[in-house]
Amino acid sequence: MDAGANRLKNRAMARLIHPAITGIAIRWLADNAPTAIPDDIDPATLDRMEGVPVSTQRLVLEAVAGAGGSRAVVGLAEALRHLEGMPLLYVLLNSSSVRDLVDKEQRLNRYLHSNHRVRIHELTAHTLELEHHARWGRQPVAVESHFVLGVHLVLLDEIGCRNLTVTLPESAEPTRRIAGRGRVTGTPPEGGHRRWRFRWTGFEPTRRVLPGLDEVLLAADGPTDLAAERSAAVEIELVVRSDLAHRWTLAEAARLCRRSPRSLQRALAAEKTSFTEVLDRTRVAEAARRLAETDRSMTEIGFACGFSDAAHFSRRFKNAMGEAPSAWRRAISTGHPTP
């Protein structure tokens, strides 16, 4: 497939929304304004859809805004606190810091070839300012930005931002708070819907055990065959398995292993391996297990296991296993894996 065809394919993928996300708005309409559900949408078929067109998502959000106003659109994301069965959401919730969450979100956008993304304008110990924008074509309309604003409010509150507030600095009332303590408290002011400023007074990581979370995020077993004793490689594997989707660095892994980066490098060299090799080996091994034992999609598995994008996942997996992930899964399912 040439570069032009790839771009067209990626753009087509970028125009699809996860059905569970659209389902949140549909359920709100069913409970509060059932007659406002667009005629061409069948709620009963959402679960069987691979994705919902962005244009359909926009119609549903506009219906919510028409029935409940922009505050209702922002508040839709509250349902994410109780949503089950979304591995990609679980990965985001398993963030140890705001920077970790932002990094994972940006990597997820690359995986999904998302057109609508957020751009960081400021990130400090107590402040995050984001801009919602489109990489090409029409920029997000108000209902789209208000919903995504609500999603970020919930995610930041859930991972541990305390006394979380939100303002819209480019709106008609740039200092008026529309959220407090992580909950929506007011209607978004006019204008400036694409720029958001989050503030919090403190951060306490709050990783919660959610249904399916550990199955999605963590390896099923302990260290594999890297070594029989607690070698440096095994220590790193144990660290990585605590959050496969995290963007691990040598310095961070060394700190958690109670070593200096230099001593960890020397120990790995003595074991004839390196930090990058152990990291890749751990992620590939877990991806292979999930491909063989679950029906998770390639995107869910590659993203949850920490690969930077689909191409990186395919390349690393093929180097280690001899076949691309999809071909390897087919071979496993037919009982003819590559020797």
Is 261 among the domain residues? yes
pLDDT at 65: 97
Is 7 among the domain residues? yes
pLDDT at 39: 83
CA separation for the pair 44, 23 (Å, rounded): 10
30 and 132 both lie in a single domain: no
Distances in Å between the alpha carbon of 263 and those of 3, 35, 240, 267, 280? 44, 66, 18, 6, 20
Say if residues 39 and 73 touch (Cβ distance below 8 Å): no
- Cα within 13 Å of Cα(242), Cβ side: 13
pLDDT at 184: 97
Is 79 among the domain residues? no
Where is 157: in which H helix or E strand? helix 142-159
18 and 116 both lie in a single domain: no
298 and 247 both lie in a single domain: yes
pLDDT at 337: 53
Is 290 among the domain residues? yes
Is 292 among the domain residues? yes
- The CATH number given to whatever domain includes residue 294 is 1.10.10.60
Q: Which of 70, 97, 120 is the last residue of a domain?
A: 70
324 and 251 both lie in a single domain: yes
Q: Estimate to the nearest angstrom the gap between the alpha carbon of 271 and the chain centroid.
A: 34
pLDDT at 288: 94
Helix or strand or coil: residue 83?
coil
Predicted TM-score (pTM) of the model is: 0.84
pLDDT at 6: 42
> How confident is the chain (339 residues) per 10-residue block, as mean pLDDT?
43 62 93 90 74 88 97 96 82 92 92 90 97 94 97 97 98 97 96 98 77 48 47 91 90 92 95 95 93 89 92 94 94 68
Residue 29: give the domain boundaries: 3-70
Is 76 among the domain residues? no
Cβ partners under 8 Å of residue 11, min gap 6? 113, 115, 136
121 and 164 both lie in a single domain: yes
Is 208 among the domain residues? no
First to last CA, the chain: 29
pLDDT at 13: 42
121 and 193 both lie in a single domain: yes
pLDDT at 229: 52
Structure letter (DSSP) for residue 188: P
Q: Which of 203, 231, 252 is the last residue of a domain?
A: 203
pLDDT at 271: 94
Is 12 among the domain residues? yes
pLDDT at 202: 97
Domain count of the fold of the chain: 3
Q: Which of 168, 203, 238 is the last residue of a domain?
A: 203
